Amino acid sequence: MAALISDMKLPALLLMVTDDCNFGCKYCYQTKGNRYMSWETAKKTLDFFLPRLGKNYRLAFLGGEPFLAFDLIKEAVAYLKIKNKELSKTVHYAANSNGSLLDDAVLDFLQQNNFTLAVSFDAFKQDWGRKKNSFNLVQAAVKKALARPGIRLEIASTFTPGTVAGLCESLEYIIGLGVPKASFSLDMTVAWDRASLDRLARELASLRKFLLKNYPDGKKTPVRFFSEGEWSGIWQCAAGLTQLLVTPTGQIWGCPLFYEFFKGKESSPAYGEYCFGGLPDFVNTYRRVPANYARFRMDNFHRSNSPCFLCPLVEKCIICPVSRPEGDAPRLLVASYLCEMSKILIAEKEKFARGTGTL
C-alpha cells in the first residue's frame, strides 16, 4: 500500500453488502446480523475509492449471504459501468455465496457481468456443517452455474475435525460435477487434536494420489491448493495493505476476519490499530493503520519456544493472525496444532509437485 493516499492504487476492494444470512453454518466465523448496506453508503464508498483503485481492480461482494442484497449489487454494477468508462478502468467482479439464492435471474446477471463466483458447498458433509437438507438445492445451483460459461465458478469447501474424514471423497465428488476450480479451508476456530491432524494427513494423501492419477502432469489440476504451487518468499498478510473491506455501516477494515475478530472488543486498545474508521476518518487513519497490518509476516510469528524465522519451512508457511477468536488483539503466537497442520499441508504440496515433476 502506498505511503501517501494521493499515490494509492488499491488492487482490491471488498464490500460487505450485508451481515445477514439465511444459513447457520456450524463453523462460520461470522456473527449473523441484520445490517444491510444502503445505496448511499455504497455510492459514497465507490466515489471515494474509485480514483484510488488500480487500472485493473477487483471488487468483491461479500456477506453474510450477499445475494440477500441483490438489488444493491445490481445498482452498484450499473453505476460502475458508467464510472469505469469515465476513468478508463476495468473491474473484475467477484462474489461469495452459499448457493441458496442462485436462481436464473441472479445467474444471468453474473454471466452478463463476468463474475467470479465462489459457492460454499461441502458435498457429502453439506448437511452436517451448513444447512440441513441443503445438499440438493446447492448442487442444483452449481450445475446451473456450470452451464453459464461467463461465470468463473469455484467451489469452496470447509472441513472441521469432525468432518475432515470426508475431505477427499467430497472433493472427488465436486470435481466429478465438472467444477473447474475447487478449494478447501480448514476450520481454525477450534483446536485440532492429534487424531484429527492424522486424519487430515491421510485425506490429503488420498486426494493427492487421486489428482496425480487423473492429472499426472499437474496441468489443469482443479484443486486450488495443489494447482497454486509453492509459495514464493515470506508470506505477508494482505489485509489492510492490498485490500480493504467496507462493512454494511461504512466502517473500513483490512479484511472480514479482522472486522469479525473485533466485534464486541470496541474498548480494546488494539481496536483503533486495525479499524480505519469511516470514510471521513480514512485520510488520517491511512497514515498509521497499515503499518499495524504490515507486522503480519511469517518471519514475525513465533511458537511458544521458538521464533518462526528459525524454521526451515518459514518461506512455505501461512498462518492467519486472527484465525482464533480469543484475546483482545491479533496474535503473532502460533498454536501448536496450527504449526502441525501447516507442516502437513506443506509436505503434501511438495509430494504433489514431485509427482508431477515440477519440483
Confidence check: pLDDT of 218 > 90? no
Confidence check: pLDDT of 3 > 60? no
Confidence check: pLDDT of 188 > 90? no
Query: Do residues 248 and 146 both lie within one domain?
Result: no
Contact 268, 262 (CB under 8 A): yes
Q: Pick from 203, 227, 251: which residue ends a domain? A: 227
81 is a domain residue = yes
| Prediction pTM value | 0.94
Query: Do residues 273 and 217 both lie within one domain?
Result: no
Query: Do residues 214 and 261 both lie within one domain?
Result: no
Is the dihedral angle over the CA atoms 92, 96, 99, 102 positive or is it negative?
negative
Query: Do residues 161 and 266 both lie within one domain?
Result: no
The C-alpha atoms of residue 134 and residue 172 are separated, in whole angstroms, by: 19
Query: Do residues 196 and 283 both lie within one domain?
Result: no
98 is a domain residue = yes
73 is a domain residue = yes
Query: Do residues 105 and 222 both lie within one domain?
Result: yes
Quick: pLDDT tens for 129-177: 788 889 999 999 999 999 999 999 999 999 999 999 999 999 999 999 9
The C-alpha atoms of residue 48 and residue 39 are separated, in whole angstroms, by: 14
**Radius of gyration in angstroms for the set of CA atoms belonging to the chain, rounded to a whole number:** 20
Mean of the pLDDT values across residues 100-124?
Answer: 97
CATH for 190: 3.20.20.70
- Residues belonging to the chain: 359
138 is a domain residue = yes
351 is a domain residue = no
Question: Residue 29: its pLDDT value, please?
Answer: 84
**Predicted confidence band of residue 328 (pLDDT cuts 50, 70, 90):** confident
**C-alpha cell belonging to residue 45:** 464508498
283 is a domain residue = yes
Confidence check: pLDDT of 204 > 50? yes
Q: Residues of the chain with pLDDT > 70: what percent? A: 97
Mean of the pLDDT values across residues 191-198?
Answer: 97
- Structural domain that includes position 106: 5-227
Quick: pLDDT tens for 275-321: 999 999 998 999 899 999 999 999 999 998 899 999 999 999 999 99
Q: Pick from 227, 261, 293: which residue ends a domain? A: 227
Q: Residues of the chain with pLDDT > 90: what percent? A: 82
User: What backbone phi and psi angles, to 5 degrees, belong to 252?
Assistant: -115, 130
Confidence check: pLDDT of 6 > 90? no
**Predicted confidence band of residue 128 (pLDDT cuts 50, 70, 90):** confident
Question: Residue 129: its pLDDT value, please?
Answer: 78
Closest-CA residue to 196 (of 340, 44, 27, 41): 340
353 is a domain residue = no
- Chain position carrying cell 453474473: 110
Contact 203, 164 (CB under 8 A): yes
Query: Do residues 73 and 196 both lie within one domain?
Result: yes
Query: Do residues 108 and 208 both lie within one domain?
Result: yes
Question: 59-63, 93-97, 326-330: lowest mean pLDDT where?
Answer: 326-330
The structural domain count of the chain equals: 2
Query: Do residues 190 and 324 both lie within one domain?
Result: no
Long-range contacts of 94-97 (CB under 8 A, 24+ apart): 94/58, 94/59, 94/60, 94/61, 94/118, 95/60, 95/61, 95/62, 95/66, 95/67, 96/60, 96/61, 96/62, 96/63, 96/66, 96/120, 96/156, 97/63, 97/65, 97/66, 97/67
Query: Do residues 10 and 107 both lie within one domain?
Result: yes
**Predicted confidence band of residue 8 (pLDDT cuts 50, 70, 90):** confident
Confidence check: pLDDT of 222 > 50? yes
**Predicted confidence band of residue 127 (pLDDT cuts 50, 70, 90):** confident
Confidence check: pLDDT of 28 > 70? yes
Query: Do residues 215 and 254 both lie within one domain?
Result: no
Query: Do residues 33 and 144 both lie within one domain?
Result: yes
Q: Pick from 171, 198, 227: which residue ends a domain? A: 227
Question: Residue 1: its pLDDT value, please?
Answer: 47
101 is a domain residue = yes
**C-alpha cell belonging to residue 58:** 477487483
